[in-house]
Structure 1
Amino acid sequence: MTRAQGQLAFTDDAGRDVELREYGLDPGTDSALLPNAAVLNALQNLVRLATELCGAPFGVVNIISAEYQHQIGAWGVEPGVCSREDSMCAKVFLSREKTVVPDASRDPRFADNPFVTGEIGKVRFYASVPLQTETGFVPGTLCVFSDSARELSPEQVGMLEVLAKQVVELLELQHRTVQLDRTYAELRNSNAKLAGFAGRVSHDLRIPLTTILGYVELVEDDPDVQSDGTAAQYLHRIGASGRRMLAMLEDVLSYSRVGGGINPSQVSLRDVAEEVARDLGIENDDIVETFDVTLRADKGQLRTLLQNLLTNAMNYRSPERDLRIRISGVSNYHGATIHVADNGKGIDPEDRAKVLEPLVRLRRQGDGPGTGLGLATCSSIAKAHGGDLSLSETPGGGTTVAVSFPAGL
C-alpha cells in the first residue's frame, strides 16, 4: 500500500479494518484480537515495563477498529474488548500526539467516560502514546493508567514514547509475517499450477520424442546403415541429443514440482559445456573455447543454462566478425562463478534488466529466432541455486553473462 492509499484508508472506518487485517488482526468481531504467540508475549513484557517506568499499576496496548477497542497486550488487568464509543484512547489517538492527564475526572474529554465514571472503571491518571507506523497509519495506542491521580516527569513521558515505538516494531514484524505467509501461499498455489502444466507438457512431448528415439534405434540396427559410417554417426548424434532432451524434460518437470528440483553434485564445467556444444553441432567449428572449473550445481540445470546461453550467442552474433564464445569460471570458498562471454551484438546497459524478464525480446534487425525465455530461464536457474545472474559488456564488443553458484548447496 502506498502512502497516499494508506492515508485514505486511515480516515475511513472500512479502510481501517482492512489495514488492521494486513497486520494479522481481524477486527470484525467483538472478541479479543490475538497476534501470534511470540508477539503477544513480547507485547506483554513491553506493557509491564511501561507501567513500572511510569509508576502506574495498569497498562495496555489498544488496537482500535471501526467499532471496537481491543486490548491485545495488558499488565495489571485482564485484556478485554469494549465499544469504540466507550474507549478513552479512541477520543485522542488520531491526533497522533501523546496524551497525559493527571486526573481524567477533571478533563472535559474524559469526565463522562464510563471508564472514569465508575460504570466500567474508575480511571484517574491516564497517559497514552499513539502507535504510528512509517506509513502514517495509527492502529491504536500504548497507554498506562491508575485509579489515583498522579503526574509524569518529562523523562517518563519520553520513555513511554520509546516503548510505543517498540510496540510498533512488533506490530510491523507481525505485518511482515502475514505478508510472507500470504506470498508463500500464493507461491505454493502457483507452483502447483506450474507443476500440473509442466506435467502435461512433459507427457505430450515425451511420447513423440520416445517414438523418434525408438525409430532411431531401429534404423541404427539396420545393416545397411551400419555399413555407412556417416549415416551411423548422424544417427548416433540424433539419439544422444534426443536422450538428453528426454532427460531435460524430466529435469524441467522436477524443477517445477520442487521449486527448483536442485540435486547438486560436483560438476565439471568443461564436460557439460562440451556436451552442449555437441548437441548444438558446433563442437568442431572453433567457436567455443572452454576452461575447466569444478563447481557444485545441478548438472541438468547447468546444461540447460549453458545451452540457452550458447543458443543466444548464436542467435545474436555480429555480422562483422566470426562468432567466438569463451566459457570460464573461478572457484573459491564462497562458491563458483562461471562466465560465458561472446563477441556478438551485445546488449545496451539500459536493456540488461529488461531482457531477464520472461517473454522479452529486443527484436533488433538481423536477430535470430527466439521466445524471450532463454535468459529468464537462466536467471531462474541461478536463483534456484541461491545465486545470481548478471550481464556486462565483453571487452571489444559482445555480452558476458556471469552466473554465481554459492557454496553450501
Structure 2
Amino acid sequence: MISTAIPINEDFRLEALKSLDILDTKTEKEFDDITALANYICDTKVALISLVDKDRQWFKSTHGISDKICQTPRNNSLCSHAILNPETPLIIADTREDQRFNKDIICLENTQVVFYAGFPLVDKEGFALGTLCVMDDKPRELSEKQIESLNALARQVIILFELNKKNNDLEKMQSKLKKKNQALREFARVISHDLKMPLANIVTTTDLLKLLLDDKLDEESLEYFEYIKASSFSMSGYISDVLAHYESETLVNNKPEKFKLNELLQEIVDLLSIKPDFTIHFPEDDPTLNCNKSALKQIFFNLIGNSIKYNDKEQIVVTIDAFRDDKFDYFRITDNGMGIPNDKLDTIFELFTTADTVDRSGNKGNGIGLSTVKKLVEKLGGTIKVTSEEKKYTTFDFSIKKCC
C-alpha cells in the first residue's frame, strides 16, 4: 500500500478542481488523442489523464487499459505523489527499487506498474489538479525530448480544461438568460392584458366626457382632453411594441411555407390602412418564397410602417425590391422620408434607442420596433443594414437564409 500524500494547499487545490466541473464527465476525443499521443511518444503501454480527488484518482482519459476503469483509490495512487511538486514531473524508472513504492506490487488492471512518469496538470493559479502520466511493466528512461513533449501535452490538457469550463459557464449563462427571457415574455403578456383595457377605457371615457361637456369646455380644456387621449394611444402602442419584441422569438419557430411576396406585402398595406397620399411600389419580379411567413410579415410591417410614420413629404413613396441567390433572399425598402441623422445610424437597431425625431403625427418613437426587426432578421439567419440621408431618403437592406 502506497502511503497517502497530501499537498499543503489541499483544500484550495480541491476547490480549484471542483470548479472545473470536469469530474465524472464523459470521455472526449480531444483528451483521448492526447493520451494516445503520449503513449506513442514514450512507447509505453498505458497513458492516463488522472485527476486527484479527495479520496480517489479519476481518469478523464485512458489509453492502454479498459475504458471501464475510470478511477482507483487515492491511497494507492502514484499520481497523488506526483502532484506534491507541481514544478517537476515525477519519473520513476523502476518502482520495485524505489523505497517509497516497493513495499507492494502496484497494478493497474492487468499491468504491473514498474515504470511511471507523471507530469502535473497545473492550472493558472498554480494548483496541481492531477497528472498526464505514462506507465509500463518494465523499467524505462525518458529522453529530454520525450520529457519536453509530455510537458507540452500536459499544458494542452489544462487549456482544454479551461475551454471546457468556459463552454460550461456559457451554457449555464444561456440557460439563465433563456429563463429570464421567458419570464420577461410572460411579464409583457400580463402587462399587455392588464393595461390595454384600462387604456381603452380612458380613451372611451375621454370621448364620452367631451360629448357630455362639449358646450361647457373652453379651448384649453379641449386640448387637455386631446392630450389624455393621445397619451393613452401612445402608451398602448408602447405596450404592443414591448409585447411584439418579446414574442418575436416564438415567431421564428413557425414552420416555413410557400407564398408570393407581393401577396404578403398587400396584406400589410391593407393592415396599415394606407391613405391616398401614399404610393408603394412592389417588386416587379414577384418571387415565390419558402420561409417563415409570420416572421417576414412582422419585419415588413415594422419597416413599411416606419417609412410612413417618419415621412414629412406630401406624397409618401416607398419602393420595395427583392433579389436572391443560392443561399439567401435579399430585400430592400427605400422611402422618401425624413432620413436618419448620421450619428444615429450605428445605434438605430439597439433596444430603446431612437433617432430623437418625431413622426408625421408629432409623436416620438420608443426604440423597440427596429430592435425587434434586427432580432427577427438574425434569427432567420440574415443581416440588416441601413443607409440614409436626412430630408431625402432611408433604405433598409436585409437578408434571410433560404429554407431547404
Shorter-chain TM-score category? 0.5 to 0.7
Alignment of 1:61-80 (within 5 A): 61-63=49-51, 70-75=58-63, 78=69, 79-80=71-72
Q: Could you list the structure 1 runs, at least 4 aligned residues long, displaced by more than 6 angstroms after superposition.
A: 12-16, 65-68, 83-86, 132-138, 205-211
Give the Cα–Cα distance (whole angstroms) in 2 for the partners of residues 323 and 330 of structure 1.
24
Once the 2 structures are TM-superposed, how far is the Cα of residue 151 of structure 1 from its aligned partner? 1.9
Give the aligned partner of residue 282 of structure 2. Answer: 290
Change (3 A) 1:65 1:327: farther
Distance change (3 Å), C-alpha of 1:34 and 1:324: same
Structure 1 residues 146 and 299: CA distance shift in structure 2, 3 A = closer
What residue number does 1:336 align with? 329
Distance 2:179 2:140 in 1: 56
User: 1:69: how far off?
Assistant: 5.3
Cα distance change on mapping 1:44 and 1:320 into 2, 3 Å: closer
Match of 2:131 among 141, 166, 173: 141
Find the aligned partners of 1:192 and 1:126 in 2 and give their Cα distance: 54
CA contact 2:340–2:390 (8 Å) conserved in 1 = no
Aligned residue identity for 2:295: Q
Q: Which has the larger radius of gyration?
A: 2
Q: Is the 8 A contact 1:254 1:261 kept in 2?
A: no
Match of 2:294 in 1: 300
Query: Are 1:35 and 2:25 an aligned pair?
Result: yes
- CA offsets 1:19-70 (integer angstroms, 9 cap, x no match): 6556432xxxxxxx2112x42x764564254234313344321335699754
Q: Deviations over 1:65-118 (max 9, x none)?
A: 69975433334675335379982332343x4xx73635488xxxxx88x5x464
Residue in structure 2 matched with residue 218 of structure 1 by the alignment: none
RMSD: 4.8
The equivalent of 2:175 in structure 1 is: 185
Normalised to the residue count of structure 2, the TM-score between the two structures is 0.64
Q: How does 1:141-160 map to 2 (within 5 A)?
A: 141-146=131-136, 149-157=139-147, 159-160=149-150
Q: What TM-score results when the alignment is normalised by the length of structure 1?
A: 0.64
Tell me by how many angstroms 1:370 deviates: 1.6
What is residue 379 of structure 2 aligned with on the other side? 384
Gaps of 5+ in 2: 1-8, 108-112, 202-236
CA spacing shift, 1:343–1:80, aligned 2, 3 Å? farther
Going from structure 1 to structure 2, the CA distance change for 1:58 and 1:376 (only over 3 Å counts) comes to same
Q: Are 1:329 and 1:338, in contact at CA under 8 Å, matched by a contact in 2?
A: yes
Distance 1:389 1:408 in 2: 18
Contact 1:295 1:405 in 2 (8 A): no
Maintained 8 Å contact 1:125/1:149: yes
CA contact (8 A) 1:195 1:257 kept: no
- Specify the alignment match of 2:4 in structure 1: none
Distance in 1 of aligned mates of 2:247 and 2:173: 19
Residue 401 of structure 1 and its aligned partner are, at CA, apart by 1.7
Q: In the superposition, relative to structure 1, how do residues 119 and 321 fare at CA in structure 2: closer, same or farther (>3 Å)?
A: farther
Helix, strand or coil at the partner of 1:288: strand
Partner AA of 2:367 in structure 1:
G
CA spacing shift, 1:85–1:151, aligned 2, 3 Å? closer
Tell me the amino acid that sits aligned with residue 355 of structure 1: I
- 8 Å CA contact 1:327, 1:340 repeated in 2: yes
Post-superposition Cα deviations, 1:335-367, rounded to whole Å, max 9, x if no partner, equal 311112234454456644433222222325788
What letter matches 1:327 in structure 2? I
In the TM superposition, what whole-angstrom CA distance separates every residue of 1:370-390 from its partner, at most 9, and x where no partner exists? Answer: 211111110121123222222
Measure the CA separation in 2 of the matches of 1:184 and 1:297.
27
Structure 1 residue corresponding to 2:268, chosen from 250, 270, 276: 276
Residues in 1 aligned to 2:141 and 2:392: alpha-carbon distance in whole angstroms: 74
